[in-house]
Chains A and B, each alone.
Chain A
């Protein structure tokens, strides 16, 4: 074989570039102009708006019509994995002082028999978020709401740091029931353990080991009915609605007995 010299090279360059350019131009014409113009559902849009839409540029929401007002307050807290993960000794000390008001229900060391949440060793981001939700009204409780109203943001962070610092009650494990280990696929319920411990932990999910049975059960029922609605994006409401009474009892029993 011998090599052809430059004149051919020029021809190839021209031909290949022109062919590819024609294909690109053709697909741009069809994809950005012809097909958008032929869409029957977009009659209210101008041609330029349709082209922008095809390019992935979303239209700003039309002014004039206000969004429907919310009927319930939902959580406005954004939880990220790194939230409050650095333990500050001064914050723990300050939180311990503040927690003197909480001990009558939650126990002097964050564990009590009062069927209220045991807070010892809970993730700080979880405690902080719940306090913020009580303050905003996203979560309501006759006892908690008025008390939280007096707390500053720094107080809430200190309390979260203090309870996170306390040792968790010793955990004793039994075999997880199916709802905890595998969820309920046909009801679109993910395994409890995938977020709340046992299998995995996901950001923002509380540690549930040794929480009181009555508390856990009441919360699941409240999520299912919508009475509790401070879960971000409705995650727990969606899960709890899919759970049967037996599922709720089994999961609450499993986590409550882990002490």
Chain B
């Protein structure tokens, strides 16, 4: 059992609670803007809900999972008690308090600006202050990951850092740097306007700063999922990790290439030059490399498991895989959704193709497939894999877990595939209601109805997931033994020092940020008369 299990459980439970509430809100949003519901008479309620859904799902939920999982990895991989547990509880308190502080104005309709902020819309300051508290909490976690690694290195001079910890710290450093963009936007532009200190804002600059955070945050969400691919799944299905250095290379490539690519979210923004859009598009394309390396390495690792179980021939190993093992199912579903989502992502990052899907429902479909599908599927896997080590009780209900994973997969496909299609038909995003009675829009109605049905399946799956976790707390006590990570197939005689540290990669990450963001930000800062009056969002009648 992990020494900090109460801390980790607190993170997981608060994270999944936020997830559960947001799941309900998400399905409500899907339903009220579908043809199954009359036009919303109070559209502001829709934006209120979207803000809560986005804030909880994008900031609170993945952050708490990454933090809790990071603490678990620290203790399990480094085999040492977490250093700074009190600080970790403090960070947890900051996230919890920040979430509540942010959600109060959202619930009151004083902050319906969506989680991407959208200046010159300006919300009640408590919303932004709450988010700053959440991010501050996560930065404490970043520091704790670094401190724990440093302490381990001092006790084990020259030894290779366990892969799980190496990847966790890579994710932590990625988050620390990528959060700087939104932090600058909040602290220098939005919060002063929200407090009434300034009355105008350079919305173009805000959007560039937010794009600094907006794409790399996706890779921060992705990190726990990738860590699970490499360090949990091969062990859980009885295989071996195909290559340990390849895994490290993948994580450092994410560290370098996830950051200088956010301008592909601004293809339609006039304040950024076409040259920078091209550069960011090129670097976005490079993210395909670590993704495909992962697909290769994990498929090879899974093949090892299949062959160890007696699978023979070109495809026999596939049949021999432990398909009744929930971890195997989770990986397969996650990869299928990562494949479709990734293909959609390549379309989004291509300037010419983006023109036909920009700001349509295609985009919302895309990131739900990637995050809600491929990533959250692995969050489920992480939680159920860790649960016995946190509760001291076995998760016996494998059938329930399989049903949960199947329903999440089917629900997510039924939700997002029609969602993409509606986007291709030109259905815009961020609207509270649509006139499906118009012949031009009537063709979109069936797709939206299908998505509502997908959402219902996801609600059922969400309920099953909570049932799995809660039953885990009431199962008979059982010693889960030591928590183990995957073992590499080949004994690696030598590990390049570059793949055991972060100096080079963090240096490249910062340098590329300067090259790709330095000029656009400096140029926008140098422009005069670029500001517009801020627009307060309120529910005053």
Seen from chain A, the residues whose Cβ lies within 8 Å of a Cβ on chain B are 1-6, 8-9, 12-13, 16-17, 20, 23-24, 26-28, 30-32, 35-36, 51, 53-57, 78-82, 176, 178, 181-182, 185-186, 191, 194, 197-203
Known contacts A54-B278, A203-B535; 10 further A-B pairs (Cβ under 8 A): A1-B160, A12-B499, A13-B504, A16-B504, A16-B505, A31-B274, A181-B42, A185-B433, A199-B42, A203-B533
Q: Are B160 and A9 in contact (CB under 8 A)?
A: no
Select which of A32, A51, A81, A191 is within 8 A of B43 by beta carbon.
Answer: A191
Q: Are B199 and A8 in contact (CB under 8 A)?
A: no
Closest CB of chain A to B40's CB: distance in Å? Answer: 7
Closest CB of chain A to B366's CB: distance in Å? Answer: 24
Closest CB of chain B to A37's CB: distance in Å? Answer: 12
Q: Are B539 and A1 in contact (CB under 8 A)?
A: no
Contact residues in B for A182 (Cβ distance below 8 Å): 39-41, 43, 433
Q: Could you tell me the distance between the alpha carbons of A20 and B289 in the complex, rounded to whole angstroms?
A: 13
Number of B residues contacting the other chain (C-beta, 8 Å)?
62
Contact residues in A for B500 (Cβ distance below 8 Å): 3
B538 at the interface (CB under 8 A from A): yes
Closest CB of chain B to A65's CB: distance in Å? Answer: 21
**Which chain A residue lies CB-closest to B41?**
A181
B496 at the interface (CB under 8 A from A): yes
Closest CB of chain B to A152's CB: distance in Å? Answer: 24
Contact digits for B507-522, partner A, Cβ 8 Å, 1 yes 0 no: 0100110011001100
Q: Are B279 and A31 in contact (CB under 8 A)?
A: yes
Residues of B409-451 at the interface with A, using a CB-CB cut-off of 8 Å, are: 431, 433-435, 438, 440-441
Q: Given A5-B497, A54-B273, A197-B541, A23–B283 Cβ distance below 8 Å? A: yes
Contact residues in A for B160 (Cβ distance below 8 Å): 1, 3
Select which of B431, B497, B534 is within 8 A of A4 by beta carbon.
Answer: B497
Q: Are B495 and A13 in contact (CB under 8 A)?
A: no
B523 at the interface (CB under 8 A from A): yes
Contact residues in A for B440 (Cβ distance below 8 Å): 186
Select which of B158, B498, B536 is within 8 A of A8 by beta carbon.
Answer: B498
Q: Are A27 and B508 in contact (CB under 8 A)?
A: no
Contact digits for B103-132, partner A, Cβ 8 Å, 1 yes 0 no: 000000000000000000000000000000
Contact residues in B for A80 (Cβ distance below 8 Å): 199-200, 533-534
Q: Could you tell me the distance between the alpha carbons of A12 and B504 in the complex, rounded to whole angstroms?
A: 9
Q: Are A16 and B498 in contact (CB under 8 A)?
A: yes
**Which chain B residue lies CB-closest to A33?**
B275
B271 at the interface (CB under 8 A from A): yes
B399 at the interface (CB under 8 A from A): no
Q: Could you tell me the distance between the alpha carbons of A198 and B540 in the complex, rounded to whole angstroms?
A: 9
Contact residues in A for B276 (Cβ distance below 8 Å): 31, 54-56
Closest 6 CB pairs of A and B: A56-B273, A54-B275, A31-B278, A12-B498, A27-B282, A32-B275
Select which of B504, B505, B538 is within 8 A of A201 by beta carbon.
Answer: B538
Q: Given A55-B275, A197-B541, A8–B496 Cβ distance below 8 Å? A: yes
Contact residues in A for B479 (Cβ distance below 8 Å): none
Select which of A16, A31, A81, A197 is within 8 A of B199 by beta carbon.
Answer: A81
Q: Given A31-B274, A191-B43, A81–B497 Cβ distance below 8 Å? A: no
Closest CB of chain A to B359's CB: distance in Å? Answer: 16
Q: Could you tell me the distance between the alpha carbons of A198 and B533 in the complex, rounded to whole angstroms?
A: 24
Q: Could you tell me the distance between the alpha carbons of A53 and B278 in the complex, rounded to whole angstroms?
A: 13
Contact residues in A for B516 (Cβ distance below 8 Å): 24
- Among B273, B431, B438, the one with the most A-chain Cβ atoms within 10 Å of its Cβ is B273
Q: Given A6-B497, A56-B520, A182-B433, A28–B279 Cβ distance below 8 Å? A: yes
Q: Given A27-B278, A30-B278, A197-B541, A186–B492 Cβ distance below 8 Å? A: no
B286 at the interface (CB under 8 A from A): yes
Contact residues in A for B536 (Cβ distance below 8 Å): 81, 203
Q: Given A27-B282, A80-B534, A81-B535, A1–B271 Cβ distance below 8 Å? A: no
Residues of B28-43 at the interface with A, using a CB-CB cut-off of 8 Å, are: 39-43
Q: Are B41 and A54 in contact (CB under 8 A)?
A: no
Closest CB of chain B to A209's CB: distance in Å? Answer: 9
Select which of B277, B492, B508, B540 is within 8 A of A20 by beta carbon.
Answer: B508
**Which chain B residue lies CB-closest to A56?**
B273
Q: Are A194 and B43 in contact (CB under 8 A)?
A: yes
Q: Could you tell me the distance between the alpha carbons of A197 and B42 in the complex, rounded to whole angstroms?
A: 11
Q: Are B508 and A57 in contact (CB under 8 A)?
A: no
Closest CB of chain A to B466's CB: distance in Å? Answer: 35
Q: Are A200 and B39 in contact (CB under 8 A)?
A: no
Residues of B253-284 at the interface with A, using a CB-CB cut-off of 8 Å, are: 256, 271-279, 282-283
